[in-house]
Amino acid sequence: MGKYAADREALAALVRPAEVHRDVYVDDEVFALEMRHLFANTWCYVGHESEVPASGDFATTEIGARPVIMVRGEDGTIRVLHNRCPHKGTRLVTERSGNAGRHFRCPYHAWTFRTDGCVYAIPLRRGYDGTGLEERAAARGIARAGAVHCYRGFVFARLAETGIGFDEYFGESLSSLDNMVDRSPAGRLEVAGPPLRYLHRCNWKMVVENQTDACHPMVAHESSAGTAVRLWEGMQKPEGTGKPMAMEVIAPFVSRYEFFEEMGIRVWPNGHGHTGVHHSIHSDYSAIPGYFEGMAKAWGEERARAILGENRHNTVYFPNIMVKGPIQLLRRFQPLAADRTLVESFVFRLVGAPDMLLERTVMYNRLINAPTSIVGHDDLEIYERMQAGLASDALDWVNLERLLDREEEHDATEIVNGTSERQMRNQFAAWKRFITMTMQ
């Protein structure tokens, strides 16, 4: 046993008020403990109900390192099952999505399970007569997540049998999901097409931290957004030519420091938080014809204005997703190893809204989140250089001190300067709490 698995205090000591030890990013044992404890004790995003509209529909993903199946049962309930045959461990389905019909059937020995996970049939069952199989975990069928909650179409699971409840875990942070869904005149979202899948050779937490890092865009993205602004301004074009959609998307990345300072960050308990309290890089997009009229009809004019006046930038739901309400995008930062992360970027259609909103969302996704995106190249270069730099033990501590308030509490809801590293500290406070809570 290594130095952390046997010593909860040593693990907790990796997080200080203003710094974290580099082992949180590079150490394999810390990573294994994250997978075992952190991703079991927290509520993790599994998928969206529109991915499994019909009985027997399933979608596969991982919670931490554990493969799971989200499946809609014959009773219409969405469940989250471990993607592992209780007999010998075979992965039951490998497709990213599909329909299981009424049963999952293991391809090895044909043990068959209902979509709620219960055993339906075991071939040649008399071979277990008198063996006591009914007392084993295997007889209880496919293992289930400890708790599942569907919030306005978004399915979350907590793998641990017991622990914090959904409402207490997310609290007021759910207002960001609310705003994203309320932007549909029908009050409903649908996943639109496949996600981008982008491999990062860095620790997953670096990518999560960057979602609320408002001091990097004007530096790291000078090469992409800065060049875009320079090219556009130098271009011969007729007087009064409006910015094309792509420029509206990319140009705000190189806004001035003041813009990001003033946009504000709001932190919530349990590691959640968002940038863009007062305004954000999404505030100045052109109006799309017919959209406001549809929203006003559905919600009333005043309420529609309130919904669309909220332009939150990135909302981090601890531990590993980020949503962008104003452009209906969700990114999941899937840990694969201490130095490997899969970033999936999903887009959603606002049911009942004009197609042009989805067109802008889709454009944002490919311009910013694709493995072929120049903004993505800027960011990934930095993450991979951090991972390489932290492999050296020249210095052990990583600094997260910008705008530190020595009195700050991490179970608070508060609004702070947009360039503060407060949300990163908030995440690490939650990290320490949820990873150690089930360690001996």
Partner 1 sequence: MTPPSRDDLAEFVYREASLLDEGRYDEWLGLFAPHGRYWMPLEPGQTDPLLVTSLLYEDLFMLRLRVERLKGARTFSQKPASRGHHLLQQPRVERFDPDEGRFATATAFHYVETRLDEQELYAGWARHDLEVVDGALRIALKRVDLVNCDAAFGNIQLFP
Question: Does position 216 bind partner 1 by CB under 8 A?
Answer: no
Q: Does 358 bind partner 1 (CB under 8 A)?
A: yes
DSSP E strands in 292-339: the ranges are: 315-317, 321-324, 329-337
- Per CB under 8 A, 362 contacts partner 1: yes
Does residue 218 touch partner 1 according to CB under 8 A?
Answer: no
Is 109 or 188 the residue whose CB approaches partner 1 more closely? 188
Which of 267, 266, 277, 321 has its CA nearest to residue 429?
A: 267
End-to-end Cα spacing for the chain: 13
Residue closer to partner 1 by CB (options 167, 359) is 359
Angstrom distance (rounded) from CA 196 to CA 440: 39
- Quick one: 183 or 422, whose CB is closer to partner 1? 183
Work out how close the CB of 339 gets to partner 1 at its nearest, in angstroms, rounded to a whole number: 13
Q: Which of 62, 209, 213, 378 binds partner 1 (CB under 8 A)?
A: 378
b/e per residue 100-120 (b: at least 16 CB within 10 A)? beeebbbeeeebebbbbbebe
Toward partner 1, which CB reaches closer, 121 or 199? 199
Q: Determine, following the binding rule CB under 8 A, whether residue 275 of this chain makes contact with partner 1.
A: no
With contact defined as beta carbons under 8 Å apart, do 180 and 313 qualify?
Answer: no
Distances (CA, A) of 112 to 57, 96, 121: 16, 20, 5
Give the number of other CB atoms < 10 A from CB of residue 190: 18
Q: Answer yes or no whether residue 376 interacts with partner 1 by CB under 8 A.
A: yes
Q: How large is the greatest C-alpha to C-alpha distance in the chain, in angstroms?
A: 87
- Nearer Cβ to partner 1 (86/195): 195
> Alpha helix (H) ranges present in 214-278?
217-220, 227-234, 245-250, 257-263
Q: Choose between 159 and 196: whose C-beta lies nearer to partner 1.
A: 196
Is residue 223 part of the contact set for partner 1 (CB under 8 A)?
yes
Which x/- pattern over 231-250 shows residues binding partner 1 (rule: CB under 8 A)? Answer: xx--x--------x-x----
Q: How many residues bind partner 1 (CB under 8 A)?
A: 44
Choose the stretch contacting partner 1; rule: CB under 8 A; options: 131-139, 198-206, 263-271, 412-420: 198-206
The footprint of partner 1 on residues 75-94 (CB under 8 A) is: none
Contact between 181 and partner 1 (CB under 8 A)?
Answer: no
**Nearest distance, CB of residue 203 and partner 1, angstroms:** 15
DSSP result, 109-148: T--EEETTS-EEE-TTGGGGTTTTGGGSGGGG-S-B-SEE
Q: Is 438 in the site for partner 1 (CB under 8 A)?
A: no
C-alpha 67: how far from its chain's center? 16
Residue 282 has phi, psi (to 5 degrees) of -100, 5
**In this chain, which of 228, 295, 323, 338 binds partner 1, going by CB under 8 A?**
228
Q: Would you say 108 or 257 has its CB closer to partner 1? A: 257
Residue 84: CB atoms within 10 A of its CB come to: 18
Q: One-letter amino acid identity for 334?
A: Q
Q: What is the distance between the alpha carbons of residues 94 and 421, in angstroms, rounded to a whole number?
A: 39
Q: Which of 61, 173, 203, 365 binds partner 1 (CB under 8 A)?
A: 365
109 binds partner 1 (CB under 8 A): no
Nearer to partner 1, 52 or 196 (CB): 196
Q: Which of 47, 195, 271, 418 binds partner 1 (CB under 8 A)?
A: 195
Structure tokens at 203: 């620790």
Q: Given the DSSP bridges, would you call strands 119-121 and 147-151 parallel, antiparallel or unpaired?
A: unpaired
Task: Identify whether the C-beta of residue 67 lies closer than 8 Å to the C-beta of residue 367.
Answer: no
72-80, 146-154, 157-165, 374-382 -> range binding partner 1 (CB under 8 A): 374-382
d(CA 224, CA 220) in angstroms, rounded, equals: 9
For position 15 contacting partner 1 by CB under 8 A, the verdict is: no
Minimum distance from residue 362 beta carbon to partner 1 (Å) = 5
Nearer to partner 1, 224 or 420 (CB): 224
Contact pick of 140, 197, 216, 402 for partner 1 (by CB under 8 A)? 197
331: Cα separation from own chain's centroid: 5
- Which is nearer to partner 1, 114 or 197 (by Cβ)? 197
Q: Name the residues that contact partner 1, by CB under 8 A.
A: 192-201, 220, 222-224, 226-228, 230-232, 235, 244, 246, 342, 345, 347, 355, 358-359, 362, 365-367, 370-372, 374, 376-378, 380-382, 385
